Amino acid sequence: MNLSELTTESADPRFAGIDTMSVGELAATMNAADAGVPAAVRTALPSITPAIEAAAARMETGGRLVYVGAGTPGRLGVLDASECPPTFSTPPGQVFAIIAGGESAIVSPCEGAEDDEAAGAAAVESAGIGPLDTVVGIASSGRTPYVLAAVRRARELGALTVGLSCNAGTPLSAAAEHGIEVLVGPEVISGSTRLKAGTAQKLVLNMFSTIVMVRLGKTYGNLMVDVKASNGKLRERAVRMVATITGAGRDEALAALETNGFNVKQAVVASRFDLSPQDAAARLAAAGGRLRVALGETA
């Protein structure tokens, strides 16, 4: 592919004079450029929605959500995956990211790694990717060799594959079962896809992980009832959630949490039905971990 033909690599004449602008002018220019990103994501919703639905269906049967990227897209995948355990108490390995160049590339640029096709395919194989898994390849250009090879190999292994890019008609979209193309246009600094393209990718990844987790019963309404209460702020949030759902006072909610190992869902079920921690856990397990079902409400 001729890189000069890619929208993400083109130079927009509107931004040709940014080096002569004041700080205020440049901030306003960047803000105006960024304003179009949510609209671009909205335009891509018809391709985003079925990809998330398919991913959620596989994860409901025990599958994993795996992001693959190089450079900024890889780091965005790492960021999104790393937020799932504290927010949704996902077990180790249920949501994770593969980045070209390995863990060191998270903080130290390893730009040449994105061209290593063999490494991309090998990383997928090393992760034991299989038919229950969903692999989301992220590449602004839509033609990064490492990501393309990883997605192609994942598809050969039977995984659901998704390609997220910011150009039209990309090889990544062709390689994946679900192609998502968020067309944000040229960057304020030509080719610097950590800007609008990166913002668009983060918005889509937010949707992926959040919606999948909601579908898996990790929330009750808009409350993160599967939160891992590992610090003072999160423990206080847990208390408020138990109090809100059960109608209990703060002291009663705190006592229920302490009795139930600060497991919000278990504390709610135990309080609602006056159950022991063991019986509350059993009721939750029978409901597939879904609090609304365990409470006897409409699923």
124-183 pLDDT, tens per residue? 999 999 999 999 999 999 999 999 999 999 999 999 999 999 999 999 999 999 999 999
pLDDT bin (cut points 50, 70, 90) of residue 94 is very high
At residue 21, φ and ψ (nearest 5 deg) are -80, 155
Pairing assessment for the beta strands 95-99 and 65-69 based on DSSP bridges: parallel
State both tokens at 291.
């609090």
13-29 pLDDT, tens per residue? 999 999 999 999 999 99
Q: Is 83 a catalytic residue?
A: yes
Mean pLDDT across the chain:
95
Q: What is the model's pLDDT at position 6?
A: 86
Q: Is 103 a catalytic residue?
A: no
Q: How far is the C-alpha of 31 from the C-alpha of 25, rounded, in Å?
A: 10
Is the distance from CB of 87 to CB of 116 less than 8 angstroms? no
Q: What is the mean pLDDT of residues 186-197?
A: 94
Which residue in the list 9, 53, 60, 114 is annotated as catalytic?
114
pLDDT at 204 over 70: yes
- Rounded to the nearest 5 degrees, what angle is found at the Cα of 205, between the Cα atoms of 199 and 208? 150
Q: What is the model's pLDDT at position 156?
A: 98
State both tokens at 158.
């039977």
Which residue in the list 9, 25, 53, 83 is annotated as catalytic?
83
Q: Side chain identity at 49, as an amino acid letter?
A: T
pLDDT at 1 over 60: no
